[in-house]
């Protein structure tokens, strides 16, 4: 293993990350206007902004993957002296076809399987065609036996509640909620750092299903659904849950504001260019990119010469 690098000064400052592109059969080859290039000719379904594979692009840790930084600088980054995983996986989803019908376990269920945590998530709608929907939860009266029969005869979709979505909507997806995403949307997903997914139905595609595991963690009533935004002092709170808080900031041209994080997290650019400023450095945040803000960094200054919008995503429980 390479030697742990020395920091300039005593503090780990904010740092940029390079998106990591995940090839998926249901994805797209053209991700513009978010990304000009993906480094592959295969369909890309997900751009991971804070995945463990995402490489640092600024400062003394350039080239190091976020997963390694979280291990090496756990106290500075996470407030955890023993190190650990960055708690939030933020990604942008680009479906060109239907994703599988799937479900994720909660913490207790995942830990019973030997996994560190479950997977609760939320979707912020970046783009939506007229009439776009997401499948979220099961219709009243659904049972495990009925789901298993519907999986066998290819009618599981008919058991799912369809929710209309528009640009700017926030959707909460509780662990245990059976769900599916289709074409016609681009979503920014903020989730617990976990990739534990049980695929219940995949429209005949030759991929492995996890029917019994999925049925075992399915909850027939959850809190999943749209979340109403809250106007706060200088920003809009999109969602506040146990595992994550997501806020939206709009900066006017030449505006400068100071912001604090409520736990380890990141800033995600949506439009325009934002200068993320601390006493020792300045980092440019662009659309479709993330800048990590360590817990020991008490405040950063944001400045947008031509105006910009961005999200603040953090894990309040740590």
Q: Does one domain contain both 94 and 208?
A: yes
Q: Please state the rounded mean pLDDT for residues 12-27.
A: 96
Question: Could you tell me if residue 6 is inside a domain?
Answer: no
Q: Does one domain contain both 308 and 213?
A: no
Range of the domain at 105: 19-53+88-225
CATH code for position 234: 2.60.120.10
CA dist 133 and 129 (Å) reads 9
At residue 318, does pLDDT exceed 70? no
Dump pLDDT digits (tens) for 158-200.
999 999 999 999 999 999 999 999 999 999 999 999 989 999 9
CA dist 75 and 70 (Å) reads 9
- State which of 186, 201, 225 marks the end of a domain: 225
Element (H, E) at 308: strand 308-314
Q: Please state the rounded mean pLDDT for residues 6-29.
A: 88
Q: Does one domain contain both 200 and 271?
A: no
Sheet holding 170-173, edge to edge: 20-28, 44-48, 88-93, 185-192, 121-128, 170-173, 225-227
Dump pLDDT digits (tens) for 95-137.
999 999 999 999 999 999 999 999 999 999 999 999 999 999 9
Question: Could you tell me if residue 83 is inside a domain?
Answer: no
Dump pLDDT digits (tens) for 63-91.
999 999 999 999 999 988 877 899 999 99
Model pTM?
0.95
Given this model, what pLDDT does residue 10 score?
56
Given this model, what pLDDT does residue 82 score?
76
Question: How many Cα atoms within 13 Å fall on the side-chain side of residue 94?
Answer: 23
Q: Does one domain contain both 193 and 120?
A: yes
Q: Does one domain contain both 29 and 141?
A: yes
Dump pLDDT digits (tens) for 232-272.
999 999 999 999 999 999 999 999 999 999 999 999 999 99
Q: Does one domain contain both 35 and 176?
A: yes
Dump pLDDT digits (tens) for 140-160.
999 999 999 999 999 999 999
Length of the chain: 318
Question: Could you tell me if residue 292 is inside a domain?
Answer: yes
- State which of 225, 257, 283 marks the end of a domain: 225
Question: Could you tell me if residue 115 is inside a domain?
Answer: yes
Q: Does one domain contain both 99 and 198?
A: yes
Whether 117 sits among the annotated catalytic residues: the reply is no
Given this model, what pLDDT does residue 84 score?
87
Question: Could you tell me if residue 65 is inside a domain?
Answer: no
Q: Does one domain contain both 181 and 278?
A: no
Q: Pick from 244, 97, 288: which is nearest to 185 by CA? A: 97
Q: Pick from 263, 297, 296, 258: which is nearest to 275 by CA? A: 258
- State which of 225, 253, 281 marks the end of a domain: 225
Extract the tokens encoding 27: 């994805």
Q: Does one domain contain both 172 and 237?
A: no
Q: What percent of the chain has pLDDT over 90?
A: 92
**What integer best gives the mean pLDDT of the chain?**
95
Can the peptide bond before residue 154 be classed as cis, meaning omega within 30 degrees of 0?
A: no
Distance of CA 188 to the CA centre of its chain: 6
Q: Does one domain contain both 288 and 192?
A: no
At residue 317, does pLDDT exceed 80? no
Q: Does one domain contain both 163 and 128?
A: yes
Question: Could you tell me if residue 11 is inside a domain?
Answer: no
24, 64, 117, 199: the catalytic one is: 199
Given this model, what pLDDT does residue 11 score?
72
At residue 49, does pLDDT exceed 90? yes
Q: Pick from 211, 224, 146, 242: which is nearest to 179 by CA? A: 224
> How many structural domains compose the chain?
2
Question: Could you tell me if residue 76 is inside a domain?
Answer: no
Q: Does one domain contain both 163 and 273?
A: no
Question: Could you tell me if residue 5 is inside a domain?
Answer: no
């Amino acid at each position: 293993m390479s030697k742990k690098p020395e920091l300039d000064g005593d503090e780990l400052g904010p740092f940029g990350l390079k998106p990591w592109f995940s090839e998926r059969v249901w994805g797209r080859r053209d991700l513009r206007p978010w990304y000009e290039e993906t480094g592959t000719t295969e369909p890309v379904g997900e751009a991971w902004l804070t995945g463990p594979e995402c490489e640092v692009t600024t400062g003394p840790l350039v080239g190091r993957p976020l997963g390694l930084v979280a291990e090496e600088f756990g106290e500075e980054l996470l407030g955890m002296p023993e190190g650990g995983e960055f708690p939030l996986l933020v990604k942008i989803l680009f479906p060109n076809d239907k994703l599988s019908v799937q479900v994720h376990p909660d913490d207790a269920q995942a830990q019973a399987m030997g996994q560190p945590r479950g997977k609760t998530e939320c979707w912020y709608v970046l783009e939506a065609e007229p009439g776009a929907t997401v499948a979220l939860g099961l219709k009243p009266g659904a049972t495990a036996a009925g789901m298993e029969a519907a999986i066998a005869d290819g009618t599981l979709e008919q058991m799912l509640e369809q929710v209309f979505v528009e640009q700017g909507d926030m959707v909460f997806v509780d662990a245990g909620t059976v769900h599916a995403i289709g074409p016609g949307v681009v979503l920014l997903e903020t989730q617990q750092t976990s990739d534990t997914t049980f695929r219940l139905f995949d429209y005949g595609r030759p991929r492995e299903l996890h029917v019994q595991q999925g049925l075992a963690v399915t909850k027939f009533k959850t809190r999943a659904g749209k979340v109403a935004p809250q106007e706060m002092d200088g920003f809009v709170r999109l969602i506040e849950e146990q595992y994550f808080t997501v806020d939206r900031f709009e900066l006017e041209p030449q505006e400068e504001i100071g912001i604090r994080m409520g736990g380890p997290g990141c800033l995600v650019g949506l439009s325009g260019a934002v200068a993320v400023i601390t006493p020792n450095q300045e980092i440019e945040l662009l659309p479709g990119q993330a800048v990590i803000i360590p817990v020991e960094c008490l405040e950063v200054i944001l400045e947008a010469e031509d105006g910009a919008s961005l999200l603040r995503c953090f894990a309040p429980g740590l």
